[in-house]
Copies of this chain bind each other. A is one copy, B any other.
Amino acid sequence: MPSPTYTPLVASLPSTVPFVGPETQERANGATFAARLGANESVFGPSPKAIAAMTEAAAEVWKYCDPENHDLRVALAEHHGVRPANIMVGEGIDGMFGYLNRMIVEEGVTVATSAGAYPTFNFHVAGFGGRLVTAPFVDDKEDPDSLIDLAKREGASLIYIANPDNPMGSWHQADVMENMIEAVPEGALLCLDEAYIDFAPDGVAPKIDVTDTRVIRFRTFSKAYGMAGARVGYAIAHEDLATAFNKVRNHFGVNRVAQAGALAALADQDYLREVKAKVAASRDLIGQIAAENGLKAMPSATNFVTIDCGSDGVFAKKVLDGLIARNIFVRMPFVAPQNRCIRVGTGEPEDMGLFAEALPAALADARGG
């Protein structure tokens, strides 16, 4: 019995998953993680007002969502000082990266990113047959100059950068990013991933200019707003580009309950400030725990801290495995030299206590093993 006829591109792709979920590891380990610090989630959760809004909306889940995401787009436009036509809402940044790549990438199209930057973006580049070219991190930062040079040299149509960065937690000031936008080669588009921008100090986000067709920026309710499981991300862009998502997107794709939750979360900026303060305190604590163990925590403008384990990727992987074995869910960068580090999410004091308890043993194992 013959199989379906896949496109040559899809036939050539592996069946893959960009990230193995912690639930998969839990099933394999036969134990639930005691601290869930590996996926850059916000253990502080969403605003209670968002939870209340979701609870209320759950009873109305028999209704499809508003495919225009109208109310949320109006609120986001107000929040950012742009027009609703400049906002496109989608099923998380991951889903929107799929749409963006689909709009621009096909076989023969080149995309530039940093070696070790966000793998789900790369998954979508490959998924549409693009040629991915990479520049190394410089000083543990995605490097705008390297990326622009690379894009020019290789003729890239799309350039990816995250500011602040994942997995290193590093960042550039707004003027560096504004200069990068100015340097985008003609016909190319800068995909500026600002998933972590809410955690960054003032002066890191470049100013929003929606008349500029050279950049599209992505924001999310998954990080500071504590709603990773809701799948609500959005793009801010020139109206033409924001509207172009309508050519390809799953119009009814955003969960209705999530729409209500995101709207309420956005309205509760006081709660967001509380979360940011808790994240900052937890970052300091992770730095302190690292130092107590003779390790160096990298500066971070995100809700995680990347810890330099002081050796190579093999050693860091042993430390990681030691933490996983002690039911602490963390992850690590996957490209050298960043993979000398482990990446630890901020959390409640209990989470930090569990991490502090497990780290010395994991290090001892790694050194002894």
Contacts of A238 in B (CB 8 A): 3
- Check A4/B62 contact, CB under 8 A, given A231-B252, A255-B229: no
Is A314 interfacial (CB 8 A cutoff)? no
Contact string, A33-57, partner B, CB cutoff 8 A, digits 1/0? Answer: 0001001011111100001001101
Contacts of A103 in B (CB 8 A): 4, 6-7, 10
Which of B4, B15, B231 sits near A188, CB closer than 8 Å?
B4
Give the distance in Å from the alpha carbon of A255 to the alpha carbon of B68 in the complex. 18
Tell me which of A16-24, A197-205, A355-363 binds B: A16-24
Is A283 interfacial (CB 8 A cutoff)? no
Which of B65, B94, B228 sits near A253, CB closer than 8 Å?
B94
Q: Which residue of B lies closest to A14 (CB)?
A: B247
Q: Which residue of B lies closest to A3 (CB)?
A: B213
Is A30 interfacial (CB 8 A cutoff)? no
Q: Which residue of B lies closest to A226 (CB)?
A: B62
Is A105 interfacial (CB 8 A cutoff)? yes
- Check A9/B106 contact, CB under 8 A, given A2-B213, A36-B63, A62-B42: yes
Give the distance in Å from the alpha carbon of A9 to the alpha carbon of B213 in the complex. 20
Q: Which residue of B lies closest to A128 (CB)?
A: B7
Is A104 interfacial (CB 8 A cutoff)? yes
Q: Is the CB of A229 within 8 A of B63?
A: yes
- Tell me how many chains of this kind the complex includes: 2
Instruction: Tell me which of A4, A62, A250, A252 has the highest count of chain B C-beta atoms within 10 A of its own C-beta.
Output: A4
- Check A10/B244 contact, CB under 8 A, given A251-B18, A256-B229: yes
Q: Is the CB of B250 within 8 A of A91?
A: yes
Nearest chain B CB to A94 CB, angstrom units: 5
Nearest chain B CB to A107 CB, angstrom units: 10
Q: Is the CB of B230 within 8 A of A61?
A: yes
Q: Is the CB of A5 within 8 A of B157?
A: yes
Instruction: Tell me which of A58, A94, A212, A222 has the highest count of chain B C-beta atoms within 10 A of its own C-beta.
Output: A58
Is A336 interfacial (CB 8 A cutoff)? no
Nearest chain B CB to A229 CB, angstrom units: 3
- Check A214/B1 contact, CB under 8 A, given A39-B64, A58-B51: yes
Contacts of A67 in B (CB 8 A): 17, 19, 21, 24
Contacts of A44 in B (CB 8 A): 62
Contacts of A6 in B (CB 8 A): 103-104, 244
Nearest chain B CB to A95 CB, angstrom units: 4
Contacts of A62 in B (CB 8 A): 41-46, 226-229
Give the distance in Å from the alpha carbon of A324 to the alpha carbon of B64 in the complex. 18
Q: Which residue of B lies closest to A250 (CB)?
A: B95
Is A109 interfacial (CB 8 A cutoff)? yes
Nearest chain B CB to A351 CB, angstrom units: 12
Q: Is the CB of A246 within 8 A of B68?
A: no
Q: Which of A78-137 contact B (CB under 8 A)?
A: 91-92, 94-95, 98, 102-106, 109, 127
Q: Is the CB of A255 within 8 A of B252?
A: no
Contacts of A65 in B (CB 8 A): 21, 229, 231
**What are 9 of the A-B contact pairs (CB < 8 Å)?**
A10-B248, A17-B67, A21-B68, A23-B66, A36-B63, A62-B226, A94-B250, A127-B248, A228-B256
